[in-house]
């Protein structure tokens, strides 16, 4: 399984970015796909996950971020609106076949994620 994340960059507070994660080497429809982030000096944080049509968000993403997937393109997206400086982090996509969207954060904590992407930097200036 390979995941390639892209779409990060520098944006001003209040702006938007859309992250993409292209997946290969997996039966895409069978996997939960998610986004996590890690800021310097902080632990990795769950952002959002999707499996089939079920979505689940971490507290920091609710109301501002939207996760979606295109099964024809084997790609998962994270639309981020109303960005804040505290959203600055490296964003990682992840794939796990044996979990649900709701349990992807738990899968990460116990080290059971099947694959991670390489990360894409998001920097939000104030």
Q: What is the tens place of the pLDDT at every residue in 89-111?
A: 999 999 999 999 999 999 999 99
Instruction: Give the β-pairing of 65-70 and 45-51.
Output: unpaired
Share of the chain above pLDDT 90, in %: 98
pLDDT at 42: 96
Q: Pick the closest to residue 66 from 77, 75, 54 (CA basis).
A: 77
**Residue 72 confidence (pLDDT):** 94
CA distance 98 to 111: 12
pLDDT of residue 39: 97
Predicted local distance difference test score (pLDDT) of residue 47:
98
> What pLDDT was estimated at residue 18?
98
**Contact (Cβ atoms closer than 8 angstroms) between residue 20 and residue 8:** no
Which pLDDT band holds residue 50 (cuts at 50, 70, 90)?
very high
Per-residue pLDDT tens over the stretch 17-40: 999 999 999 999 999 999 999 999
Per residue in 88-108, is it b (16+ CB within 10 Å) or e — as a string? bbbbbbbbbeebebebbbebb
Q: Which value, in Å, is the radius of gyration of the alpha carbons in the chain? A: 13
Question: Residue 17 and residue 8: Cα distance in Å, rounded?
Answer: 7
Averaged pLDDT score across all residues of the chain: 96
What confidence tier does 43 reach under pLDDT thresholds 50, 70, 90?
very high
Q: What is the dihedral of CA 106, 112, 116, 121, to 10 degrees?
A: 30
């Amino acid at each position: 399984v390979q995941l390639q994340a892209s779409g990060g960059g520098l944006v001003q507070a209040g702006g938007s970015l859309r992250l993409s994660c292209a997946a290969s080497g997996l039966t895409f429809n069978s996997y939960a796909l998610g986004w996590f982030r890690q800021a310097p000096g902080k632990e990795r944080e769950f952002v959002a996950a999707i499996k089939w049509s079920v979505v689940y968000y971490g507290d920091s993403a609710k109301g501002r971020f939207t996760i979606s997937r295109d099964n024809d393109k084997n790609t998962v997206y994270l639309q981020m609106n109303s960005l804040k400086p505290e959203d600055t982090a490296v964003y990682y996509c992840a794939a796990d076949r044996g979990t649900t969207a709701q349990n992807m954060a738990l899968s990460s904590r116990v080290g059971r994620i099947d694959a991670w992407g390489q990360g894409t930097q998001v920097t939000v200036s104030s």
